[in-house]
Structure 1
Amino acid sequence: MPQRPGQPRPLSETPRLRPLFLALRTLCIATAASMATAGLLVPQAAYAQAAPAPDSRELKRFDIAAGPLEGVLNQLGRDTGVLITFESKLTEGMRSPGVRGSHTVQQALAQALEGTGLGMVRAAGGGYALRTLPAMASTSTAAATAPASGTTLAEVRVVDTAPVGGPTEGTGAYTTRSASTATHFALSPRETPQSISVVTRQQMDDQGLVSVPEILDKTPGVTVGRNDSERATFYARGFPIENFQFDGVPSTLDTSNQYTTAIGDSIVYDRVEIVKGATGLLTGAGYPSATINLVRKRPTAEFAGSLSFGAGSWDRLRTTADFSGPLNASGSVRARIVAAAQNANSYVDYYKRDTRNLYGVIEADLTPDTLLTVGVDHMTSRADGATFGHLPLFYSDGTQTRFSRSLNPASRWSYWDNDSTNTFASLKHDFGGGWKLDVAASHLDQSKDVWFGSAYNGSVDRYTGQGIRMLSGLLPSESKTDAVNVALTGPFTLGGRTHELMLGAGYSRQHQQAELHNTVFTTVPNYFAWDGYIQQPASPKRADRDTVIAEKGVSAALRLRPADALSVIVGARASWYRLHDQSTGVAGDISVDDDLNVRAKIIPYAGIVYDLDRTWSVYASYTDIFHPQTYYKDANDRPIAPLTGKSTEVGVKAEFLDRRVNASLALFHVKQNNSAQYVSVNDDTGNEIYKAVDGITSKGLEMEVAGQITPSWNLSAGYTFRTSRQPQQQDVILSAVNTNQPRHLVKLNTSYRLPGEWSKWVVGGSLTWQSRTYYETSDDNHWRADQPAYAVVGLMARYEFDRHLSMTLNINNLFDKTYMPGLGSYGTGVYGDPRNALLTVNYKF
């Protein structure tokens, strides 16, 4: 299973912030200047000219209630995909009649500004400009859309862009305008006082990313460790990621399934947002690694659809279908249904995995201010020849093994079947004046049926092939999770300035039931002759385990704006956590394995963002860490004590090219107590044994840039440096430090539409480079397995026959690099995929 990490020096040892920020800003400016010199950046005016505004004559339906002008304009910007920026003093004290009915963008703006003395004009770059009208000017639509004249009027620029907080589908961008994953406030990446990465629908389509592990494998600062053929552990800043959200709503997943049964196919998602660091304000319990927000696709106002067929290496066949549109004449009820199916063999001998995904959602405008959403997503996977752990890492003399990538340690009769159904509903109500209520509920059913037999336990005699045992047994389990979350957000005025308030409450209850069967060890006579053909041993049932995890919490946060350039977020969450874990033996005897009850655990959160100018900001954030570790058991098969600690972050952010490009640089520092330290495997149960270790620290640096460098060129790139430290303990190697995670990590993803006669071609690629990692055994031998630094390169090319039909070729691991991204899991090694390709034909209508 995943190991535990370690980290950096205290912030008190870092240089003073102002000189550091100035140095970082100088570095970023120099980088941008060098890109411009090389012709990689284009003037902003040229960009605006090349990317014209959407047709403003198109009628759109609006239901924006009367209220403060600032709130109405902000809502109008979100609904139209037009970013409206202005100084608070321009709209201070003004009210708007709101916007209702079907209008063009200009008509909607005119209605919002009626009676305010303000009007708007088209700007040269294809956007709009908001101006104070002369006293004799009419506030009608005609006056509001009159040509610009004169130079004495106060002006605020309005720039056409992707919708704020809206879908990334159809924008063609590698970034988004806002995200609420960290605080539930709809903030731009620059306004969020933490590092944030976004993988958009366009990037998924460009690079053929069909699963969440593949998406995270392309995310800056995130690594994907493979535990075996079916499970992956995601890491950020050296720690496992276990916090997930669906559409911004925190959700509890069955840890023992390692998330594979609940996160399904990428065809379901519009984008994936990853906020680095601890996010205790919304999630309560969690690691200081990251929170992953899986944002599902939503129904569209107009009918749209797509069909695709893909074929690739190892007999891979993939089909998808996606249909969306209104269900009634008025468009007040809309629906979307998405399906995906994939069958695939593998480069690993006799391993095969088939998946099916189905997603359906309906939206209904109950009133102009109330939106009801109900939906369900379902996933099944069936894997034959599935592994549990992977290849032995050591020969009996302590040297590292070098087996073929195709060797499968699983028995021929091994299988791993997953099923997951997530039913959800939400109700959103706009009270007017910017105040909104979000209520969300979900019911998640997960199950797995596993018969594993995997030959990996022990070390191999390099001459006789002896020394390995096959670990086998049954692992059937079910998990049901019910969750409800409520959030109220809105602006208020204090001291003549507008601020924001968020109030939240949540409850979740997870009930896990599992049959516990005896684990059987079978000696493998000669591992060099292993072919998976071995008798299936009996795995008698010894007990039934029943685990209930209930968590509830309330949170509150203020986003204060004491000055135009300053934003301060302060808040806290009070969490109640209850775990009851008991086993009932076959003879009827009941034993309580754990009974944890945490009352009113307070988790503070603080963040500050200061705008140096219209492009650059500096920020800092802090939160506590609290995470019950139910999976990690001690020698008595009881969970170790909850993880605690502190997480801090400082950095600088920037927006370029009318916010089409986001850039950031962050320094982070984390300190943890009760980190899980791997000890050994319990021969009686087959479970891993851990102990708690205090004083694990981790620190590092993250740099990232993402967005549209030009209308034809998308880029997502990042660099991460991380170092972890442990308290001095003689003769102990701490897996809590996660030496299987790199200190240096570089990721680059890009696509480019060729100019002129070649404009039907889009080409691109990806690069992942990471520094050396290693795994060292915790016993007295201290054997060590190394994975040298390596790079993996991918290429893509798409030809668009017309606006409906396209064909995309993705080649992964172009140079066929042999590497192990799963080094050390269960003391074994897992190889990354060899070179492979996928050809996809897509038709949109």
Structure 2
Amino acid sequence: MSAPQFLRLSKLAVLTSLALSSYSQATENKDNDENIEKIAVYGQHHKNYITEDAQSATKLGLTIKETPQSISVISRALMDDFSLDNLNAVLESTPGVTVEQIETDRTYFKARGFEITNFQINGMGLPQDLGSIQGTLDTSIFESIEVVRGANGLMTGAGNPSATVNMVLKKPTYQTKVSASASYGSWNNKRFELDASTALADDHAVRVAFTKQKTDSYLDRYEQDKTIYYLAYEGQLTDSTLLSVNYVNQKKDADSPLWGALPLYYTDGTATNYDSSTSTAADWSYWNNTAEQIFVSIEQSIAASWFIKANYAHIENEQESALFYVYGTPNKETQTGLSGLASNYNYKDEHDIFDLYATGKLDLFSREHDLSFGVNQADMKKTESSLYDANQQHPNPAPSIDHLNTWDGSAPVPTLNAGLRGGDVKNRQRSAYISARLSLTDSFNFLTGISQVNWQTDGISYGVNKAKDSEQTVPYFGAVYDFNESISSYASYTETFVPQTQRDINGDYLDPITGKSSEVGLKAQLLEDNLFITLAYFDAKQVGLAVAIPNSSPDDTRFYGADGINSDGFEVELSGKLTDDLSASFSYSGVNIEGDDLVKDYTPENQFKLAITHQVPTIEGLTFGLNYRWQDDTKRVQVRDANNNALVTTKQDAYGLLDLMATYEITDNVGVTLNINNVTSEKYINSLYWAQGYYGAPRSYAISVNWQL
């Protein structure tokens, strides 16, 4: 047995042993506590898009309405209705979020003009210095996905004033539930999901899930093969101690993926217009991603209104790839002028994250307040290597790619023997934090908090010494005023920072980038609390961004700290149940960006998103729905003259994407769902984040059969 296989089996064995030993221990405790009343909470599937709770912004146990920031929750119901099977699809439907899919297997996410670099699973932060996600995270194992927009320094430490994405894993249920789904769609898309949960005893439960998907693509030669395993355990060890353990293994193999994308203009400056299926990937290229995660949580009640919670996570991500990059500017008449570059890229990172905090209620001045405090440490290390033929000389000259529209992906398989570069970097983030909600009157609550964050980096990355220590104190202030039980107003101010390892003209490290975010808004719960509405105005600023000093040496580039992006705008969100038969999620976001013309150009200023499902009252079991996303025009200046005037500009007109769905419940246990995506077969460029780009998927179909016990 190979070492990686043994490692995976060992972790699964440890997980199983832990769950069984906990069950055995709790059974002994149960003999002594037979007279203690136990309450079981059962999960349920519903067609309502409203969710009241979210734990991404604070650890005070507040509802969304009580939290002075914009929070959106994509529910399991919405993901199921519209087959939002990966994180990209979910965030495309999330208010105020832009998905910059630059390649088939690498994506950036943005909010309020800034990259999203803060991701969580079950509230556990996953610190990272880049916002890109390699591969695509499957959503079959998540119960919901929470997005807190704006800076969120209390919960995430280092990061941008953009948003925090928290993926909430499915929990075991104490009622036996089994569901399965099989679907088939365009481009030979085959997907199977199995999800089962049951109680081991009155106070112990397990959940297992398995997902398998294999599909071709609208893109020439591109294929995917995904496999996801999930195991969760929850057990009441004593009447005051709760243990949760989660194990995740996601594997995605991609054949002929894009590394880079299509050229967007010809040598004469006019725009290219390839077929939507055109790809620059070689027929031998691949990009395989594996993610393995273990989460352990112990919650201990210590008083009637206080508990301590300890969380630990171990996360490993691996990539292995052989890639092919096409570069150059083609001639419009001859379709020549493109060349190829091959590379082998390997990557591995490991995270060990520990979080310990206490939260509860405090009586002061005859009023009840909320208090939370804790410490967090995240150790991260990553190694990467990139091997390519730097000179592209014999025996591996750069292959010429002519007539890209008809190219079949044939390119010489390279023997790479030069240009080996890479990195070996370790990061450690440590923070201590405290937050409180002070109940000043029955209607007015003031929130305050502070986080002390230290970030340490050591190692070499592509020849650059990354050794640097950064420390920052991050404040948080917020206020919520309840006009009545249904309507409240709020205001908040918070900050973040991003460590930098660039050096200035004197050889000293630049100070961290600091971010500031303020927000005011209204929140309302109407229609017997079935409908949730948020109106928000935000203003975010970033200063100290590293900018290269002109004409500095390429081998020793020096930088200066400059003003970064300033953004402000409005967001409106409505989600919930409008009638007994009609559920909806609607949002509008508008953002104005200053300080970076490039970002301003490729970021849509206005976005509109709408999802609706309607249960037909005259035909029991029949439901129709639509999911519509619209954004206005974007552009990217590709070539400028000596006076900085734009010579070549790529433009993407405003466009909208419409998805339709229909579900019919044949029996109480069996249903069938039809999804049609991009009904109008709109042709659009996925992103102008880079100088290259490729087209989104045209119209596609999928039909699934769903069964539940």
TM-score by length of 1: 0.75
1:594 Cα shift? 1.6
Match of 1:831 among 681, 695, 698: 695
1:320-359 equivalences in 2 (<5 Å): 320-327=193-200, 330-359=201-230
Give the Å deviation of 1:782: 4.7
Correspondence 1:288 to 2:171: no
Structure 1 residues 445, 679: CA separation in 2 closer, same or farther (over 3 Å shift)?
Answer: farther
Distance in 1, Cα, partners of 2:206 & 2:558: 48
Greater CA drift, 382-391 or 178-187: 178-187
Instruction: Report the counterpart of residue 151 of structure 2 in structure 1.
Output: 278
Residue 548 of structure 2 is aligned to residue 548 of structure 1: no
Native 8 Å contact 1:817 1:834 kept in 2: yes
Paired residue for 1:569?
447
User: How many Å separate the matches in 1 of 2:616 and 2:500?
Assistant: 51
Aligned residue for 2:78, secondary structure, equals helix
The CA distance in 2 between the partners of 1:410 and 1:192, in whole Å, is 46
Residue 422 of structure 1: CA displacement? 0.4
1:794, distance to aligned residue in structure 2 (A): 0.7
Compared CA separation, residues 332 and 519, structure 1 to 2 (3 A): farther
Aligned-pair Cα RMSD in Å? 2.9
- CA, structure 1 residues 802+638, in 2 after alignment: closer, same or farther (shift >3 Å)? farther
Shift in CA distance, 597/102, structure 1 to aligned 2, threshold 3 Å = closer
- Partner of residue 747, structure 1: 609
Question: Which residue number corresponds to residue 568 of structure 2?
Answer: 699
Q: 1:677 to 1:657 in 2, by over 3 A?
A: farther
| Structure 1 residue 634: Cα displacement | 11
Matched residue, 1:398: 269
Q: Give the CA deviation at 1:696.
A: 2.4
Q: Within 2, Cα distance between the matches of 1:246 and 1:684? A: 39
The letter for the 2-side match of 1:384 is D
Q: Do structure 1's residue 497 and structure 2's residue 497 form an aligned pair?
A: no
SS at match of 2:499: strand
For the residue of structure 2 that corresponds to 1:314, the secondary structure is helix
SS in 2 for 1:564: coil
Q: CA deviation at 1:592?
A: 5.4
One-letter identity of the residue aligned with 2:365? G
Deviation at 1:171, TM superposition (A): 3.6
Aligned partner of 1:56 in structure 2 is none
Q: CA deviation at 1:638?
A: 12
Task: Select which of 331, 344, 349 maps to 1:474.
Answer: 344
Deviation track 1:602-660 (CA, whole Å, cap 9, x = no partner) reads 00011111111222111110011201357x9999x999863212111111111112221
Match of 1:224 among 99, 103, 118: 99
Correspondence for 2:624:
763
Q: Does 1:202 align with 2:77?
A: yes
Q: Which moved more, 1:710-719 or 1:531-540?
A: 531-540
User: Cα–Cα, structure 1 residues 259 and 679, in superposed 2: closer, same or farther, change >3 Å?
Assistant: farther
Paired with 1:193 and 1:379, the residues of 2 have a C-alpha distance of: 35
Separation of aligned partners in 1, 2:280 and 2:549 = 23
Bigger Rg, which one: 1
Contact in 2 for aligned 1:441/1:484 (Cα 8 Å):
yes
Inter-partner Cα distance in structure 2 for 1:223 and 1:678:
27
2:622 partner letter: W
1:465-490 per-position Cα deviation (integer Å, ceiling 9, x unaligned): 23323232111011111000112110
> Which secondary structure does the structure 2 equivalent of 1:190 belong to?
coil
Structure 2 portions without partners, runs of 5+: 1-25, 27-34, 393-397
Q: Give the SS at the match of 2:90.
A: helix
> Is residue 58 of structure 2 the alignment partner of residue 183 of structure 1?
yes
SS in 1 for 2:65: helix
CA contact (8 A) 1:239 1:738 kept: no
> Counterparts of 1:428-467 in structure 2 under 5 Å?
428-455=299-326, 457-467=327-337
**Does the aligned pair in 1 maintain the 2:174–2:204 contact within 8 Å?**
no
| Structure 1 counterpart of 2:171, one-letter code | R
Work out the CA distance in 2 between the residues paired with 1:749 and 1:679: 47
Q: Percent identity?
A: 31
1:818 aligns with 2:683: yes
Query: Which whole-Å deviations, capped at 9, do the CAs of 1:513-550 have from their partners, x for residues lacking one?
Result: 11232454625252445332111333335345210011
Query: What is the aligned residue count?
Result: 663
Matched, 1:211 2:86: yes
Gaps of 5+ in 1: 1-62, 64-98, 105-162, 585-590, 727-732
Query: 2 CA distance for matches of 1:753 and 1:270?
Result: 22
Query: Which amino acid letter does the alignment assign opposite residue 582 of structure 2?
Result: W
- State the one-letter code of the partner of 1:836: S
Tell me how far apart the structure 2 counterparts of residues 669 and 397 of structure 1 sit (CA, whole Å): 41
SS of the residue corresponding to residue 534 of structure 1 reads coil
CA contact (8 A) 2:659 2:678 kept: yes
Greater mean deviation of Cα atoms: 772-781 or 471-480? 772-781
| SS of match in other structure, 1:777 | strand
Q: Distance in 2 between matches of 1:345 and 1:103?
A: 47
Deviation at 1:343, TM superposition (A): 0.3
* TM-score, normalised via structure 2 length: 0.88
Change (3 A) 1:693 1:838: farther
* Equivalent pair of 1:677/1:734 in contact (CA under 8 Å): no
Report the Cα offset of residue 259 of structure 1: 2.5
Tell me the amino acid that sits aligned with residue 670 of structure 2: L
| Aligned twin of 2:119 | 244
The 1-side partners of 2:376 and 2:604 are apart by: 36
1:739 deviates by: 2.0
Structure 1 residue 594 corresponds to structure 2 residue 456: no
Q: Could you tell me whether the CA contact under 8 Å between 1:679 and 1:778 is conserved in 2?
A: no
Name the SS for the 1:739 alignment partner.
Answer: helix
Give the C-alpha shift of residue 314 in structure 1.
Answer: 0.3
Question: Partner residue of 1:15?
Answer: none
Q: Report the Cα offset of residue 583 of structure 1.
A: 5.6
Report the counterpart of residue 524 of structure 1 in structure 2.
400
SS at match of 1:469: strand
**AA aligned opposite 1:699:** D
- Residue by residue over 1:650-685, the C-alpha shift from the partner in whole angstroms, topping out at 9 and shown as x without a partner, is 1111111222111011000011124467999x9999
Aligned partner of 1:375 in structure 2 is: 246
Q: Give 1:832 shift.
A: 1.2
User: Cα distance 1:498–1:755, how it changes in 2: closer, same or farther (>3 A)?
Assistant: same
Answering whether residue 261 of structure 2 is matched by residue 426 of structure 1, we say no
